[in-house]
Structure 1
Amino acid sequence: MSNRTLLKVDRLEVRYGAIDAIKGISLHVDQGEIVTIIGGNGAGKSTLMKTISGLEPAAAGHVMFDERDITSMPGHLRLPLGIAQSPEGRQVFPDQSVLDNLLLGAYHRKDTQTDIDSDIEEQFTIFPRLRERQNQMAGTMSGGEQQMLAIARALMSRPRLLLLDEPSLGLAPLIVKEIFSVIRMLKERGVTILLVEQMANQALAVSDRAYVLETGRITLEGKGSELRRNPKVRAAYLGDHG
């Protein structure tokens, strides 16, 4: 695995009016890694993801992608660089078919239709249920199917960095298991992933490294396996109060 740093967040601050949502945090994601950010509600996890993808402006600090400063770059220009987000709450296009949602994921690409068709076929291999549902309106599918579609749509942009924001939120345990096995498979294929996830145990199990975010600050960082064993993390996020 290459140790080349793909994403570097340096002393980042994000504010909503007078509220400091992100308070000077620094982190990095190396190529080929899965890095997880865990933290409670209101910790600033989704704000961080939105700032990396360009949906939320930074008040101070820097976001670097592949050694390029993208702090002030609009979100729609970050996608062609290789940053794709599967957002919290899925946000598929409900009145479009599954197939149209996938095609929208590739809208900025200048490849041939053959290449795009080949990538659609690849998504159907990763998510067989989407093949069965390809002509169905996305809004009529189950939450789990919509989550699979949101990830597949992000993958259609051929991302160099995939941002997964709460992929297990509101899903049945069986579907959560399926989503995490897909995340493992993507890692094996060399996809670099920054994952924000409430299911801390599963997330740390698939992660190379992780950061704990509390009220806008990073309070702990380390290997996923180390944080899984950390008593503070176990008590706060893994339901271990013994």
Structure 2
Amino acid sequence: MVTIIGANGAGKSTLLKAICGLEPVAAGTIKLDGKDLTKVKSHERVGLGVAMSPEGRGVFADQTVRENLMLGAYSRRKDGAATEAAVEREFNRFPRLRERQNQLSGTLSGGEQQMLAISRALMSDPRLLLLDEPSLGLAPLIIKDIFKAIRELREAGLTILLVEQMAKQALGVADRAYVIETGHITLEGTGRALLNDPKVKAAYLGSH
């Protein structure tokens, strides 16, 4: 699990979008297990194992919770039994989604929409999960639930790239971490090392 922190406008979300194929790459390459994805279309990257829960959740407001999950499974749509098993898995992960499975997603609370966005990304059984600001605008109790799910995914062996404004929580669950400033990496190390770094404390943890 890798965490990326940085100020607003530093380029964190742009990096995730570039990995997904939603932003053009100006230089360099994007590789997954040695396979060059730089020119692979965005929807094809999902089939290769890349999925993202975007900043702002991006749920389809006029579709139900279940329909949103089914849309997340489009890359495996020929295997109905596996798709239903994945839906059940996500309902077990976030029981609130089961309770609201026939409810329009636009009527959900912010926390419920975030749960749905994460579960929708997981419906494709990704090898790499990108999470963009999963705690944004959520109440503390909901943030606790979201980070619990993230830790469980990490412990289950899923590779996660997390962009998060709550630096302390993000660094606390990260194996490695990077600080980005205006599109450049300025610090890197283990999550614990950056959590204790004086520069990071001063800039992102409210401690001097």
Range of TM-score over shorter length:
over 0.9
How much has 1:188 moved relative to structure 2? 1.4
How much has 1:73 moved relative to structure 2? 1.3
1:196 aligned partner: 163
Pairing 1:29-178 to 2, within 5 Å after superposition: 34-178=1-145
The TM-score with structure 1 as length reference comes to 0.85
Contact 1:90–1:147 at 8 Å: present in 2 too? yes
More strand by share: 1
Question: Gaps (5+ residues) in structure 2?
Answer: none
State how far apart, in whole Å, the 2-side matches of 1:117 and 1:110 are. 10
Q: Are 1:186 and 2:153 matched, yes or no? A: yes
Structure 1 runs of 4+ aligned residues shifted over 6 Å read none
Identity %: 66
Contact 2:55–2:133 at 8 Å: present in 1 too? yes
> How many residues get paired?
208
Q: Residue type matched to 1:112 in 2?
A: D
Q: Residue type matched to 2:67 in 1?
A: D
State how far apart, in whole Å, the 1-side matches of 2:153 and 2:78 are. 22
More helix by share: 2
The TM-score with structure 2 as length reference comes to 0.98
Q: Which has the higher contact order (CA 8 A, sep 6+)?
A: 2
Three-state SS of the structure 2 residue aligned to 1:62 is coil
Cα RMSD over matched residues?
0.8
1:217 aligned partner: 184
Deviations 1:48-97 (A, max 9, x none): 00000000010111111110111111111100000000000000000000
Q: Are 1:239 and 2:206 matched, yes or no? A: yes
How much has 1:112 moved relative to structure 2? 2.3
State how far apart, in whole Å, the 2-side matches of 1:72 and 1:57 are. 9
State how far apart, in whole Å, the 1-side matches of 2:37 and 2:149 are. 29
How much has 1:108 moved relative to structure 2? 1.4
Three-state SS of the structure 1 residue aligned to 2:103 is coil
